[in-house]
Chain A
Amino acid sequence: MSEYIGHDHNGTTVGPVEKQFFTFAGKEDPFLLESGAEIHPVTLAYETCGILNEDRSNAVLILHALSGDSHVAGYYTPEDPKPGWWDIMVGPGKGIDTDRYFVICTNILGSCMGSTGPACVNPKTGIPYGTDFPLITIGDMVRAQKMLMDHLGIKKLLAVVGGSVGGMQVLEWCVRYPDNVASAVALATTCRHSALAIAFNEVARQSIMADPNWCSGHYYGKAKPGMGLAIARMIGHITYLSDESMRLKFGRRLQNKSALSFEFGAEFQVESYLQYQGRKFIERFDANSFLYITKAADYFDLAREHGKGSLVKAFSKCLARFLVVSYTSDWLYPTYQSREMVKAMKKNNLDVSFCEIEAQWGHDAFLLPNDKLDHLMKGFLNRVAHESAPV
């Protein structure tokens, strides 16, 4: 996902938030991964907004996408130039209303924003894991999140909400922990990557691994594989947009010049935009985390993992009420992939709502201000909250 972090146009915000940490799994009881590998300790960074009610029934877990973090809304300090990444959706009176719901957002396992990942120190060696960090899956991320929910004393989540790779976690939560999820909102996501999505991820990974600074993943304390990561991010950004959005946003316009200069610098606006996005990304993101998380997304296959190849079977234990949303111009996770999951849910008699929002901004549309999504979210959560309330 891209960064569209902007201030709420009404100026409402949850205000100050604080990054917190939860550590579990020791030498005696390591965290067993789906690959069979073990890690310990495991730390998850998380943030909360709103107030958990007395019977702990108003918790909404937000799951971020590839490059996100736990900072979903609000500000760390009054001087912060930017709020959390989904400040337009999460806050008082917003789509996910923090006056009503207790919102939790946790950085995913394998990331580099405070949770355990390849940039963390391996207790066995005393130096960062690098590529000694075991491969992780979406299932591993979700199982770690479940440990955090247990720690917070939340037995049943009112809703799990997420887009893109966050949406994969949403689906995994519902299938893996059917009794612990009352409802789920899956935005611009898929039950498994298409060959196209895997292809883009692979090119992005290759560009990181081809960077001479990558050093097989053991670059910590040395020069970072910045060029490789920047190119990986540029590829990502192409998939987040769409033909239409690029045409509208850039067309063939030139950057700060009126004629072609017959050289290899960034001349077109689209080139300049992508290079800027790449440069900005390497300041905050770890190249190895990018490798691990994209691999986890490529591995994700709900039907294979939970239904012996059948998506209908995978959803058969689900109890949650679903809201599935796709976007007309999303070519990374096109609408047909959302319809596929909706079909499997219907065959299981699950309560599912589905809407394909008309939007020209491609896969990234779910992060942009959109009244329709606000209304969908508000109405859906309101119904769930109403029906989950103790009589």
Chain B
Amino acid sequence: MWPMNPLRYDLQIIASWIPPGAKVLELGCGEGDLLLWLRQNRQVKERGIEIKESKVVKCIEKGISVLQGDINTEIMDYPDQAFDFAICSQTLQQVYDPVFLIQSMLRVADQCVVSFPNFGHYKTRVQLMFTGCAPVTKELPYEWYDTPNIRVLSLRDFENFTRQAGFRILKKAAINTKNHQMEGKIVTFLPNLSATYGIFLIGHQ
């Protein structure tokens, strides 16, 4: 068996939502940490999509089924409802057309999980308030000119969005992470102010 790295905290939360034996598609699966964990501990049937060649090689080395390509186009070739879950973790803020992507996820899978850094976190607000500059934080570590995060959203933004777009939130978790996201806790008090990441399980309306 491939030796397993400890799972990032937000991925632990996502993993806890996936029942054993499920068919899972992960968009932007990186080096395949989550999929490997799910396969070894939940016996899921896994598929990943990743654009970076070096990361794809790492996935296949671990025995993960992965396709090199762009998530927005690769997702289109799968038959309807081919999966139980489609997961897009910490990538939604980089997607040009999130509505289409979530719709596609719900076409190929029964339910989907999305997660993203919370722009409503108090540190971000405070930075903008007091420095007058676009915030740079651990979760959003880029300058305005080099950030891949073209969609800036808070937990509340996303909840409003799901209502308007006609998606149903089945589960949600607001989390606060530390130690390079390896540890963390669920936040229940003022989540839009104090959570660094939001994770949502979404189904059809």
Give the B-binding residues of A (Cβ under 8 A): 321, 323, 339, 342-343, 346-347, 349, 351-358, 372, 375-376, 378-380, 382-383, 386
Report how far A382 CA is from B67 CA in the complex, Å.
18
Name the B residues within 8 Å of A347 (CB-CB).
77-79
A283 to chain B, nearest CB (A): 38
Q: How far is the CB of A374 from chain B (nearest CB, A)?
A: 10
Pick from A339, A353, A382: contact of B65, CB below 8 A: A353
Q: Check B63–A386 contact: CB distance below 8 A.
A: yes
Contact B68 A355 (CB under 8 A): yes
B57 interfacial contact with A, CB 8 Å: yes
Q: Which residues of B contact A382 (CB under 8 A)?
A: 63
Would you call A353 and B77 a contact (CB within 8 A)?
no
Does B66 interact with chain A (Cβ within 8 Å)? yes
Contacts A380-B63, A383-B63 hold; do A349 and B82 have CB atoms under 8 A apart?
yes
Whether A353 contacts B66 in the complex (CB less than 8 A), given A343-B77, A347-B79, A358-B53, comes out as yes
- Contact in complex: A378, B82 (CB < 8 Å): no
Chain A residues with Cβ below 8 Å from B67 are 342, 346, 352-354
**B107 nearest CB across to chain A (Å):** 14
Residues of A within 8 A of B157 (CB): none
Chain B residues whose C-beta falls within 8 Å of the C-beta of A378 in the assembled complex: 61
Which residues from chain B contact A339 at a C-beta distance below 8 Å?
69
- Mark interface residues in B32-74 (1 if CB within 8 Å of A CB, else 0): 0000000000000101000001001101111111111100000
Interface size of B as a range: 20 to 34
Contact, CB under 8 Å: B68 / A372: no
What are 10 A-B contacts with C-beta separation under 8 Å? A346-B67, A349-B79, A349-B82, A351-B47, A353-B60, A355-B53, A372-B53, A375-B57, A379-B60, A380-B63
Q: B61 contacts which chain A residues (CB < 8 A)?
A: 375-376, 378-379
A321 — nearest CB in chain B belongs to which residue? B65
The residue of chain B having its C-beta at the shortest distance from the C-beta of A354 within the complex is B67
CB neighbors of A among B58-108 (8 A): 59-69, 77-79, 82
Report the minimum CB–CB distance from A31 to chain B (whole Å).
37
A104 vs B94: C-alpha distance in the bound complex, in angstroms? Answer: 47
Across the interface, B68 reaches (CB within 8 A) one of A343, A351, A354, namely A354
Are A376 and B57 within 8 A (Cβ)?
A: yes
Q: Which residues of A contact B69 (CB under 8 A)?
A: 339, 354
> Which residues in A have their C-beta under 8 angstroms from that of B64?
353
Mark each residue of chain B from 128 to 149: 1 if its CB lies under 8 Å from any CB of chain A, else 0: 0000000000000000000000
Per the bound structure, the CA–CA distance linking A376 and B69 in Å amounts to: 17
